[in-house]
Amino acid sequence: MRGLFANLALVFGSLVVFGALAEFVLLPLLGPSDIPKNAYIEGVLRYVPGQEGVYRKRGAVEAHYRINAQGWNAARDFERPRGAATCRIVAIGDSYVEAFQVDVGGSFAELLETLYGKNRAEVLRFGVSGAPLSQYLAMIEREAAAYGPDVIVVNLVHNDFIESYRPLAGRFTRSFLTLDVREGRVVGENPGEVYVAPAMSDWLRLSATFRYFYYRWGITPDTVRALIAKPRTDGARHEANIDVAELDREWPNIVASTEHLMRRIKAAGQARGVPVIFLIDGVRQAIYAGREAASIDALRLNRLVVELAAKLGVVALDLHPIFEARWRADRQPFDFGADDGHWNERGHAVAAETLRGALRLLGEPCGG
């Protein structure tokens, strides 16, 4: 027994030493992704101010981020008083506005500023991963509106709709504003809980080991399970970042919740005398595959946004036909493919150009 315990202690000690070497020496050299800590400030989930790092995803993405003094990924701090620019635009969204996949300063917000020229417009972006359309309303009312915008831009992606009333499980999803929807009717709004960072799980999440395998290479329990188990046949059909098989059974709830939120966001703009623009992503993988729009189920959401915008008297810009035309012209992708589906520099540039053209035609304060 003494020999057995000695051998077990030796094995355990060896694992501890190896784990320590991997955590503090080997994996930092291999380049794990940096991940900022979250914070809950003035009723809105964001990031702890003052963090900087390099976001990495597989071998395709290596981009510098900077969390400003207000808790958002941006090249500069946001000042409440108007700066030298004659116009102020605020952009609201999730990870596409957060834009960790491109260097800070390279998102569509900063590119839109560049298209306007020096001191003509400033674009402040408020984005956090995982936020749905419902949370965008909270971000406008509790945060962005205080900066006195002349235009509000709400960036939409396809998982923003169902998750507005049926949030995914996660570290902070309970801190998002969500809707109570029943049988195609919105019966209430849930303001969300105060987010308190869990010390132990945050320590694990921010370790080099976790950041290397989970965040950089996407190795999760689900991916491991998929390698060793038979493929599931649950009827799911994925386009963009959703299971489109859910659209039929959830459609009444989707329509009701989307109209409610778009109406509320329009009212938030009206209360401040500023226009609202909804910008919705295209189904890019279907474009690359050469599929016609009529065969793409996820585009039902694009059409819904455009139809509701017309009904409510606001502007909706659908990026799908714009991405499609650009792809047919030069076959240059707008994302990182299988490594990361978020917009790359080209995707952000197309979004910025689309907004610039729309604002010019609208003749709004930033139309120029």
Are the C-beta atoms of residues 310 and 259 closer than 8 Å to each other?
Answer: no
In a domain, residue 230? The reply is: no
Q: How many domains does the chain have?
A: 1
Confidence at residue 237, expressed as pLDDT on a 0 to 100 scale: 86
Q: Which pLDDT tens digit goes with each residue over 71-96?
A: 999 999 999 887 777 789 999 999 99
In a domain, residue 12? The reply is: no
Q: Which pLDDT tens digit goes with each residue over 267-319?
A: 999 999 999 999 999 999 999 999 999 999 999 999 999 999 999 999 999 99
Band of pLDDT at residue 248, cut at 50, 70 and 90? very high
In a domain, residue 37? The reply is: no
What average pLDDT does this structure show over 27-48? 96
In a domain, residue 186? The reply is: yes
In a domain, residue 222? The reply is: no
In a domain, residue 45? The reply is: no
Strands (E) in the chain, as ranges, are: 38-41, 44-47, 52-57, 61-66, 88-93, 122-127, 151-156, 178-182, 185-190, 238-239, 242-243, 276-280, 315-318
Q: Which pLDDT tens digit goes with each residue over 168-190?
A: 999 999 999 999 999 999 999 99
Domain of residue 250, residue span: 80-199+235-362
DSSP letter for each residue of 228-290: HSPPP-S---EETTEETTHHHHHHHHHHHHHHHHHHHHHHHHHHTT--EEEEE---HHHHHTT
Are the C-beta atoms of residues 308 and 258 closer than 8 Å to each other?
Answer: yes
Confidence at residue 98, expressed as pLDDT on a 0 to 100 scale: 98
Q: Which pLDDT tens digit goes with each residue over 114-164?
A: 999 878 899 999 999 999 999 999 999 999 999 999 999 999 999 999 999
Tell me the residue type at 201. Answer: S
In a domain, residue 268? The reply is: yes
Start-to-end CA span in the chain (Å): 83
Q: Reduce the DSSP state of residue 333 to 3 states and report it.
A: coil
138-to-22, 43, 105, 131, 191 alpha-carbon distances in Å: 41, 8, 25, 10, 8
Q: Taking every pair of C-alpha atoms in the chain, what is the biggest distance, in angstroms?
A: 84
Residue 232 predicted with pLDDT over 60: no
Provide the CATH number for the domain around residue 154: 3.40.50.1110
In a domain, residue 248? The reply is: yes
CB burial string 275-288: b at 16+ within 10 A, e below:
bbbbbbbbbbbbbb
pTM attached to this predicted model: 0.94
